Amino acid sequence: MSTPADQAGHVLFVDDDADVVKAAALLLGRHGLKLTSARDPLEARSRLAAERIDVVLLDLNFTRGATSGEEGFRCLQQLLADDPQAVVVVITAHSGVSVAVRAMQAGASDFVMKPWNNARLLATVRDALELRRRRISRSSDALVDAEPEATLLGESAAMERVRNLVARVGPTEAPVLVLGQAGMGKSLVARRLHLASPHSQGPYIAAHLAQLSTDEAERALFGDRLATDGALAQARGGALVLDEVGDLAPAVQARLVAALTCGGGPGARIISTSRRTRAGLQGRGGLGDELLYRLNTVEITLPPMAERAGDAVLLAEHFLRLAARRHGHMLRPLSP
């Protein structure tokens, strides 16, 4: 019996056993479900960053001879940190129920034992899809449902420190200043902060301020004379991202300081980004001391690639997979 169209979903199966993945793909495919595979946690996070996934089936061991499940538990922790709404079903063949229970305690929604019963696996996946729909329906934040790229890829110690800081700061309402070179992920950090915040169901408004004139920046932030269509008004109850805030002219900075201080503030969490360093923001042509003070309660500096040992290859492989899927080409491995 086929799954009704309104129950269709996209499942990611993280397992290094091609035969196991093929069996699951055949089963789910017969019931109208799409299955995508990943051989290990690194590839899984890359796929999650590139496309919408509804449910993750997660094996716990990926290194030959490994039975502890620690690789899978680390992956589970990362997946839930990337997306608190994620629904993960653990697939395990080792250590039985004790490992499965531990996975549930760590945030997995359910578990299936290998070798699985087809009816049990199908029912578990359908339950997981329904759970995902309920979680999404409780949130009006389109980022959760439509922006899978809000994932900070990288396994270097430098990026792990960034993710840990985002996880600690996200649930607060503190203003955050995100610094880093172009292309290092400032907008991704801003999205992650919003998704983890108490106001994640509110709007996420980004004001792109790079190289705007004084008049253009004022219209972008404050709107018309009634101040109803500017970014500050639109972001109430959610997050306002001041992208490239260091480019603001002094006159706009002064007006922004007034907006942040009068009447209890703007009613939105302020996240600012800049390609400049802290010293560059404090220098001539940067931000005034009062505005900088109000924007950087917490400061997050994204490391350049030179400080992210090993991440260059991971990111290259991610974009290679993304390009292959988008353009319908066979995935080719990178040469040494």
Compute the distance between CA of residue 174 and CA of residue 168 in angstroms, rounded to an integer. 11
Task: Please report the pLDDT score of residue 145 as a whole number.
Answer: 39
pLDDT tens digits for 151-169?
Answer: 788 888 899 899 889 989 9
Pair (170, 252) in one structural domain: yes
Task: Please report the pLDDT score of residue 248 as a whole number.
Answer: 92
Domain range for 169: 157-306
- How confident is residue 6, by pLDDT bands cut at 50, 70 and 90? very low
pLDDT over 60 (residue 4): no
Pair (66, 115) in one structural domain: yes
The stretch 45-57 carries a mean pLDDT of 87
Pair (301, 163) in one structural domain: yes
Domain end among 89, 115, 141: 141
Question: What percent of the chain is predicted at pLDDT more than 70?
Answer: 91
The stretch 11-29 carries a mean pLDDT of 94
Q: What is the pTM of this model?
A: 0.67
Pair (201, 88) in one structural domain: no
Pair (166, 284) in one structural domain: yes
Distances (CA, A) of 1 to 11, 117, 119, 269: 19, 16, 11, 49
Nearest partner of 169 among 190, 155, 148, 154, judged by Cα? 190
Task: Please report the pLDDT score of residue 171 as a whole number.
Answer: 92
Pair (115, 161) in one structural domain: no
Higher pLDDT, 66 or 110: 110
Pair (161, 133) in one structural domain: no
Give the CATH number, domain containing residue 89.
3.40.50.2300
| Inside any domain, residue 317 | no
Strand partners, 274: 179
Pair (179, 278) in one structural domain: yes
Helix (H, G, I), strand (E, B) or coil at 247: helix
Domain end among 141, 173, 195: 141
Pair (178, 246) in one structural domain: yes
Task: Please report the pLDDT score of residue 257 as a whole number.
Answer: 92
| DSSP assignment string, 28-61 | HHTTT-EEEEESSHHHHHHHHHHS--SEEEEES-
- CB-based contacts of 223: which residues, under 8 Å, 6+ apart? 229, 230, 231, 232, 233
Task: Please report the pLDDT score of residue 30 as a whole number.
Answer: 94
Q: Given the structure tokens 């703007």, which residue do they identify?
A: 266
| Inside any domain, residue 118 | yes
| Inside any domain, residue 322 | no
| Poorest-pLDDT segment among 13-27, 221-235, 247-261 | 221-235
Pair (209, 162) in one structural domain: yes
- How confident is residue 199, by pLDDT bands cut at 50, 70 and 90? confident
Domain end among 107, 141, 175: 141
Pair (201, 274) in one structural domain: yes
The stretch 226-239 carries a mean pLDDT of 82
| Inside any domain, residue 52 | yes
Task: Please report the pLDDT score of residue 146 as a whole number.
Answer: 38
| Average pLDDT score, the chain | 85
| Inside any domain, residue 212 | yes
Compute the distance between CA of residue 207 and CA of residue 320 in angstroms, rounded to an integer. 30
Helix (H, G, I), strand (E, B) or coil at 299: strand
The stretch 166-191 carries a mean pLDDT of 92
E-strand ranges in the chain read: 10-14, 34-38, 55-59, 88-92, 110-113, 176-179, 204-208, 239-243, 269-274, 298-301
| Inside any domain, residue 23 | yes
pLDDT tens digits for 295-329?
Answer: 999 999 999 999 998 888 888 888 887 777 777 77
- How confident is residue 286, by pLDDT bands cut at 50, 70 and 90? confident
pLDDT over 60 (residue 124): yes
45: its two tokens: 């996070």
Task: Please report the pLDDT score of residue 238 as a whole number.
Answer: 92
The DSSP output letter for 6 is G
Structural domains counted in the chain: 2
- How confident is residue 225, by pLDDT bands cut at 50, 70 and 90? low
Pair (70, 117) in one structural domain: yes
Q: Given the structure tokens 């030179």, which residue do they identify?
A: 306
Compute the distance between CA of residue 114 and CA of residue 255 in angstroms, rounded to an integer. 62
| Inside any domain, residue 100 | yes
Q: Work out the burial of residue 8: count CB atoms within 10 Å of its CB; fewer than 13 is exposed, 13-18 middle, 19 or more buried.
A: middle
Strand bridging mode 298-301 / 239-243: unpaired
Compute the Cα dihedral for 237, 204, 9, 23 and give only its sign: negative
Give the CATH number, domain containing residue 172.
3.40.50.300
Check if the beta carbon of residue 297 is closer than 8 Å to that of residue 176.
Answer: yes
Could you count the other beta carbons within 10 Å of the beta carbon of residue 319? 12
- How confident is residue 208, by pLDDT bands cut at 50, 70 and 90? very high
Nearest partner of 135 among 125, 145, 146, 126, judged by Cα? 145
| Inside any domain, residue 224 | yes
